[in-house]
Amino acid sequence: MFSSPHDPFAAAEKAADVLVRRTRLRPEIAVVLGSGWRLVADALGTPETECLMVDLPGFPQPTVAGHQGAVRSLQLGGRHVLVLLGRSHLYEGRSPAEVVHAVRTAVIAGARVVVLTNAAGAIDPALEPGNAVLIRDHLNLTGASPLTGADPPAPYPSRFVDLTDLYSAELRDVATSVDGTLRQGVYAALHGPHYETPAEILMLQLAGADLVGMSTALEAIAAHHLGAAVLGISLVTNLAAGVSPQPIAHGEVLAAGQAAVPQLARLLADLLPRLPVGQVAS
């Protein structure tokens, strides 16, 4: 059970204290690895510490294939990096507070930059499976917000947070300097767990979305609310319904992620040491 549904910030503070004691460091960068990204963590190097998510207060065990449910800390290019292997989703029956608990914990523990990765379907027909795409904006169509409820207690900011620059332009510039082939796009977040209908994909296309998935948006809002800079990276694992001539299956998502491991590992290994961890412009 989630430890404190009425005060999610107190719950994250408690988890952050345990996390810092277990990892013996305060993270500068937190990375959330989505479906198909687990092997990327192995390629980043040997962790200094690792623990199961369920051993941290308030962390539920992920139930989705491809989400390991572990937390690693490692040094990469002189940066303290916290890697979250797995995440919780609304479609698992989790509340918005539970979905963002890991990200809130990481930021309260010290992370000033949060890198959110995910597996996504391509709405833009120019995108292909295996492409990594920087998220420049999102459409939150989940019907949920991590800031619903009572106003956050002091010293946290008001729940009425501006999302104009949610995905840091500075961090995206750093990423494109590392890999000039990276494209940028708008990510549409839906509740899931079912994949979308062709009519829904057409609607999203008309609304300006390039990618579609079932995560990331709530975590980005929670991290931004706490003052962290957010970088979103989608791995295109399939073509969306109506774009793809074939039925969509979760196994396809995982297989595409495994095939892209070398590319993604190189990207993160080169990128993470270059990300500014001080005051980052949105």
What are the residue ranges spanned by the domains of the chain?
A: 8-274
- pLDDT bucket at 68, cuts 50 / 70 / 90: low
Cβ atoms of 123 and 201 within 8 Å: the answer is yes
Task: Return d(Cα 128, Cα 21) in angstroms, integer.
Answer: 42
Class of domain 8-274: alpha beta
Burial of residue 153, with CB atoms counted within 10 A of its CB: 0-12 exposed, 13-18 middle, 19 or more buried: exposed
Other CB atoms within 10 A of residue 194 CB = 10
Name the CA radius of gyration of the chain, rounded: 17
Task: Return d(Cα 52, Cα 253) in angstroms, integer.
Answer: 24
91, 170, 203, 269: which one is catalytic? 91
| Residue 271 one-letter amino acid | L
238 is known as an active-site residue: yes
Q: Is it the case that residue 280 has pLDDT exceeding 60?
A: no
140 is known as an active-site residue: no
What pLDDT is attached to residue 131? 93
67 is known as an active-site residue: yes
Q: What are the pLDDT digits (tens) for 26-62?
A: 999 999 997 667 788 888 888 999 999 989 999 987 6
89 is known as an active-site residue: yes
4, 15, 16, 35: which one is catalytic? 35
12, 30, 88, 89: which one is catalytic? 89
91 is known as an active-site residue: yes
Q: Which of 280, 270, 279, 281 is nearest to 79 (CA)?
A: 270
Residue 260 DSSP SS3: coil
238, 240, 241, 265: which one is catalytic? 238
Between residues 68 and 70, the one the model is more confident about: 70
- pLDDT bucket at 282, cuts 50 / 70 / 90: very low
Q: What are the pLDDT digits (tens) for 134-164?
A: 999 999 999 999 999 999 999 999 999 999 9
Cβ atoms of 126 and 42 within 8 Å: the answer is no
Q: Which two tokens stand for residue 272?
A: 């993470």
131, 168, 215, 234: which one is catalytic? 215
Q: Which of 5, 13, 2 is nearest to 226 (CA)?
A: 13
3, 203, 250, 282: which one is catalytic? 250
118 is known as an active-site residue: no
Burial of residue 99, with CB atoms counted within 10 A of its CB: 0-12 exposed, 13-18 middle, 19 or more buried: buried
Q: Is it the case that residue 19 has pLDDT exceeding 50?
A: yes
Q: What are the pLDDT digits (tens) for 171-215?
A: 999 999 999 999 999 999 999 999 999 999 999 999 999 999 999
| Residue 123 one-letter amino acid | I
92, 95, 200, 203: which one is catalytic? 92
Please, what's the b/e burial string for 54-86 (b: 16 or more CB within 10 A of its CB; e: otherwise)?
Answer: eebbbbbebebebbbbbbbbbebeebbbbbbbb
Between residues 257 and 70, the one the model is more confident about: 70
Q: Is it the case that residue 64 has pLDDT exceeding 90?
A: no
119 is known as an active-site residue: yes
131 is known as an active-site residue: no
92 is known as an active-site residue: yes
11, 214, 240, 241: which one is catalytic? 214
